[in-house]
Structures are given as structure tokens and as C-alpha cells.
């Protein structure tokens, strides 16, 4: 497999992983599983409610920086970075 094809494959793998987390914290914990999670409390928050209005947003921020960091490493590894 060519360098570029393996770079693209690694990229897809990384993005897929990130998007699974993205889906779980928002659609999963924040919506689909909100009721059962609401039985657990986090401070004065019900956990499902917290994920929907706070937790998912924090996770999104983390995900983008994690992705950017890993992508920059991939760029160098496969020697496709700029400059």
C-alpha cells in the first residue's frame, strides 16, 4: 500500500474513533441514556442532564484538540506535513 493510502487509512481510523466518542457523550449519554443516568447525581446535577448541558460540550473541546495533536503527529510520520 502506498504511503498516502496508509496515511488516509490512519486518518480515517482516528476520525472514526473520535466520532464514536462524540456520539456516545451527546446522543448516547445526553439523549438516549439520559433517564437511567439521571438516577446518578453529580453534585446537584442529574448525570444525564449534566451530559446534555455541560459534559458533552467539554468532551467536544477535548476531542478537537486530541484530534489536532494526533493528526499533526500523523502528518510528520507519513511525511505529508507542510513546510
Partner 1 sequence: MDLQTMTYLVVGLSFAIYIGIAFWARAKTTGDFYVAGKGVHPVSNGMATAADWMSAASFISMAGLIAFNGYGASVFLMGWTGGYVLLAMLLAPYLRKFGKYTVPEFIGDRYYSRTARIVAVICLILASITYVIGQMKGIGVAFSRFLETSYEMGLYIGMGVVFIYAVMGGMKGITYTQIAQYVILIFAYTVPAVFISLSLTGVALPQLGLGADMSGTSMSMLDKLDLVVGELGFKEYSTQVMGSKLNMFVYTMSLMIGTAGLPHVIMRFFTVPKVKDARATAGWALVFIAILYTTAPAVGAMARLNLMETIQVGEVGTVEGNLAYDDRPQWFKNWETTGLLQFEDKNGDGRIQYYNDKDETFAAKAESYGWKGNEMVKVDRDIMVLANPEIAKLPNWVIALVVAGGLAAALSTAAGLLLAIASSISHDLLKGVFMPSISEKAELLAGRIAMAAAIAMAGYFGLHPPDFAAGTVAIAFGLAAASIFPALMMGIFNKRANRAGAIWGMIAGISVTMLYVFQHKGIMFVPGTDFLGDMGANWFFGISPNAFGAVGAVVNFAVAIIVSKLTSPPPEHIQHLVEDIRVPAGAGAATGH
The number of CA neighbours under 13 Å toward the Cβ of 80 is 14
Residue with cell 500523523: 74
If one asks whether residue 33 binds partner 1 (CB under 8 A), the answer comes out as no
State the minimum distance, in angstroms, from the CB of residue 66 to partner 1.
Answer: 9
Q: Which residues bind partner 1 (CB under 8 A)?
A: 4, 7-8, 11, 15, 18-19, 22, 26-27, 30-32, 34-35, 38, 42-46, 49-50, 52-54, 56-58, 60-61, 63-65, 67-68, 71-72, 75, 79-82
Amino acid at each position: 500500500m502506498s504511503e498516502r493510502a496508509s496515511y488516509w487509512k490512519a486518518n480515517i481510523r482516528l476520525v472514526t474513533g473520535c466520532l464514536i466518542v462524540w456520539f456516545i457523550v451527546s446522543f448516547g449519554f445526553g439523549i438516549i441514556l439520559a433517564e437511567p443516568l439521571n438516577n446518578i447525581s453529580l453534585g446537584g446535577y442529574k448525570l444525564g442532564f449534566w451530559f446534555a448541558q455541560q459534559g458533552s460540550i467539554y468532551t467536544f473541546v477535548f476531542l478537537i484538540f486530541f484530534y489536532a495533536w494526533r493528526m499533526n503527529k500523523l502528518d510528520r510520520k507519513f511525511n505529508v506535513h507542510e513546510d
